[in-house]
Chains A and B, each alone.
Chain A
Amino acid sequence: MKTSARFTVVLTRPCLVGALGVIALVVGPASANKDPVTPQQLKAYEDAFMEQVRIGDLLFHGDAALAKKMNVVLTTTGMACAMCHPFASDTHPQAFPKYQVSMNKFATLRDMINWCIEKPNQGEKIDSDSDAMKALEAYIYWSNTGSVLVPGKY
């Protein structure tokens, strides 16, 4: 009751209408989580994900123009990820994290992506939180949808 009373007071002061807008902006996304999801929201969430999958797909298949735009050098040999991993096969994202023999260390999928960029592709290692890395990861996971999680498997 106390909160409502204060809110009413705020609403009655025209000079604070601008502040209300700010509050709505801050509270809006939080309260959206409390409401049943709408088809429009679902589509927006899926679109946000699929856009990353699309970007990852292009990078994975050697789209040089996009790599340049994203300021990454994923290869210098003409090799692209998909040349050894069609459909992102044999990437086995479901097996990470694991001890990765080729790196001689406990590794994540992002470590492995960077290893492939640096060794077979002879490109430049990318930041593990970069947009390009997230997109590559999104594509690899999406492409392996339905594979059973087996973390640690050789």
Chain B
Amino acid sequence: MSELDRERRELATVLQRPGVRPDPLLRITRRTFVHRSCLTGAATVAQTFAWWPLLNTIDVAYAAEEPFKFAWVSDTHLYPKSVNTRFVEKVQRAAREVQAMNPPADFMIFGGDLAQLGRANELELGVELLNEVKIRKVFIPGEHDWYYDMGAKWKQLFDKPNWTFDHKGVRFIGLDTVTRGPDYWTVRKMSPEERMDHMATLDGSVAGPWAGVGRDQLDWVQKTLADWDKARPVVIFSHNPLYEYYPPWNFWVRDWREVNEVLKPYTNVTNIHGHVHQVLYNEIGTMRSIGMLATSWPWPYAPEGVPKLTKPMIRADPGDFYDGVGWETLSMNKDRIETQYVMWGRKEVFVQSPPDSSLSQPEILRPRIADQIWPY
């Protein structure tokens, strides 16, 4: 059995026990009813296609004090304008649309990977473009933002990479899942550019399992939640998903077991994450997890490990730079959070039949080799 298979089995055994679900007081909507049907049945991909209703929202029971909305933008991967204006234009569009929300969003989360190669001029360009958004903005880092100067510029612009605040009865936590990567550069005597290039290659093998929360930060989360009623809503923002989806692309955090231990007592936790550049939905123990789109480009679904509760997004047209990408609005009122994917250039975000999905074409893939040959 491969290490990946072993991880998957452990995840299923430890975290997906029969009867353990987020918030038992869940309001029954058509969508949640379908979730339960999927959980109790043998939900193959084909069956999931057949089961899912044509909705582009995700409904979750919530107990916020009053309704409000917030916006999520992430994974803009900005190059300087001299290299690429396509990504710049898409950030401008997202910023305009977030600012035009009516009623306005209470705040905007930026979920990491503002820059492509972590350069100061890329991060500064991001700040300049997002200045169009006048509401409160809070940022968490992505790996592309960090590994050129080890976060020096990012911290100067955005302060701490993790934070918490309460808003209208909900506790929000921003987590840093990118800065605790193993040191792959010192013994190889890499320049900052080389270190960043390896980190910026999603399917590279040199940077290793860099995504993690870390014991110190988990202790901070535990302390942050210590005075919070265990049934009240908690929303956690992170760049990477907080479970194990596909480790070779760091679609996970390596300490997902410890994250689950800390969050287990809380029955109303939603994790909103970036990094995957795709629609994702999963339930891990008592936590819901929702993946967000990038503005830059869509990643394909991994060849294995896509959560069965995910209704896949439509296969993007690579000839249309505005396809398969966008941003999100999240509405909260006293009994639900509704996630709406704003995918540019598409009326239907989700697949309508198997041929709409890249998952309908099974593939067996091998990891790359060239970055394992000397000098790396």
Scan A20-33; emit 1 where CB is below 8 A from any B CB, else 0: 00000000000000
B155 to chain A minimum Cβ distance, whole angstroms, is 25
Q: Is B103 an interface residue (CB 8 A)?
A: no
A82 to chain B minimum Cβ distance, whole angstroms, is 6
Report how many A-B pairs have Cβ atoms within 8 Å.
89
Q: Is B227 an interface residue (CB 8 A)?
A: no
- List A contacts of B201 (CB < 8 A): 61, 82
Q: Is A145 an interface residue (CB 8 A)?
A: yes
- List A contacts of B86 (CB < 8 A): 77
B154 to chain A minimum Cβ distance, whole angstroms, is 20
Q: Are A78's CB and B365's CB within 8 A? A: no
Tell which of B79, B303, B317 has the most Cβ of chain A within 10 Å: B303
Q: Are B365's CB and A54's CB within 8 A? A: no
Chain A binder among B50-58, B93-101, B186-194, B368-376? B368-376
A15 to chain B minimum Cβ distance, whole angstroms, is 49
Q: Is B364 an interface residue (CB 8 A)?
A: yes
Q: Is the interface of B mostly helix, strand, loop or mixed?
A: loop
Q: Are B303's CB and A89's CB within 8 A? A: yes
Chain B binder among A35-43, A126-134, A146-154? A146-154
Q: Is B5 an interface residue (CB 8 A)?
A: no
- List A contacts of B83 (CB < 8 A): 77-78
B302 to chain A minimum Cβ distance, whole angstroms, is 8
Q: Are A148's CB and B317's CB within 8 A? A: no
Interface residues on A, range: 35 or more
B206 to chain A minimum Cβ distance, whole angstroms, is 12
Scan B75-102; emit 1 where CB is below 8 A from any A CB, else 0: 0000100011010000000000000000
Given A77-B83, A77-B86, A154-B355, do A87 and B370 touch, yes or no (CB 8 Å)?
no
Q: Is A57 an interface residue (CB 8 A)?
A: yes
Q: Is B202 an interface residue (CB 8 A)?
A: yes
Scan A85-111; emit 1 where CB is below 8 A from any B CB, else 0: 111111010110000001000000000
A84 to B368, CA, bound (A): 15
Q: Are A87's CB and B368's CB within 8 A? A: yes
- List B contacts of A148 (CB < 8 A): 362
Q: Are B361's CB and A82's CB within 8 A? A: no
- List A contacts of B317 (CB < 8 A): 102
- List A contacts of B299 (CB < 8 A): 84, 86
A47 to B8, CA, bound (A): 35
Write the chain A residue with the least CB distance to B201: A61
Q: Is B366 an interface residue (CB 8 A)?
A: yes
Q: Are B79's CB and A120's CB within 8 A? A: no
B92 to chain A minimum Cβ distance, whole angstroms, is 17
Q: Are B203's CB and A87's CB within 8 A? A: yes
Q: Is B249 an interface residue (CB 8 A)?
A: yes
| B203: contacting residue among A86, A119, A147, CB under 8 A | A86
A to B CB contacts below 8 Å, 21 in the list? A54-B370, A57-B368, A58-B370, A61-B204, A77-B84, A79-B297, A82-B203, A83-B297, A86-B203, A89-B302, A90-B363, A92-B361, A102-B317, A119-B319, A120-B319, A144-B365, A145-B364, A146-B364, A147-B363, A148-B362, A153-B361
Binding site for A on B (CB under 8 A): 79, 83-84, 86, 116, 201-204, 248-249, 297-300, 302-303, 317-319, 321, 355, 358, 361-371, 373
Q: Given contacts A87-B303, A143-B366, A143-B368, list 10 more A-B pairs with CB under 8 A.
A: A54-B373, A61-B204, A78-B116, A79-B297, A87-B203, A87-B248, A90-B300, A90-B363, A119-B319, A144-B363
- Report, nearest first, the 5 A-B pairs whose CB atoms are least far apart: A86-B203, A57-B370, A146-B364, A90-B300, A87-B365
Binding site for B on A (CB under 8 A): 50, 53-54, 57-58, 61, 77-79, 82-90, 92, 94-95, 102, 116, 119-120, 142-148, 150, 153-154
